[in-house]
A and B are shown apart, each in its own frame.
Chain A
Amino acid sequence: GAGVSQSPSNKVTEKGKDVELRCDPISGHTALYWYRQSLGQGLEFLIYFQGNSAPDKSGLPSDRFSAERTGGSVSTLTIQRTQQEDSAVYLCASSLASLYSNQPQHFGDGTRLSIL
């Protein structure tokens, strides 16, 4: 596809379950970003990948959150033992190069996660 693709678009799960969110960036984009937007709140930066590596993981909210990227393409954000406060829209973006360069980010439509 032409844009950033995220799946699933909606996920409803019970508290305590694990969830995996997927982001498929634009082909050729080396940089990939994950954000979270809770209801009525601003955007919260979670993690950034340059290729397969994430230079700083301190933006992840807790150790229940992990993210990986393989092959310099698809990324997954995993939340273990979900809590109600994890309910949010999780957005992914990609860009041609890193945070160091003047390249715009292209955003997916997000995954709306609801924890019951």
Chain B
Amino acid sequence: AAGVIQSPRHLIKEKRETATLKCYPIPRHDTVYWYQQGPGQDPQFLISFYEKMQSDKGSIPDRFSAQQFSDYHSELNMSSLELGDSALYFCASSVGGGGETQYFGPGTRLLVL
């Protein structure tokens, strides 16, 4: 079965650079969630979109922005990167704004030097 696709899988950036992470949800899933998992930590919710509109907002820094496009894929844009942004970034998708089960992608590992 098709799963959530994230690209790139690994990314190395320098401080103050920008990064864009992409997420392609499972076909027919209309809701996308972004989570950040720091080293040795649990995933923390950043932001979500349902039908191309922002549905919930968590602990996403102001330096980050995201959007969901007409084909339901989503992009997380990260600017003025800091060392502390180094983490595993997960995208998850579900069906419907109140979707019960979120299916996670493999994650993008971001390293900021």
The answer to whether A and B interact is no
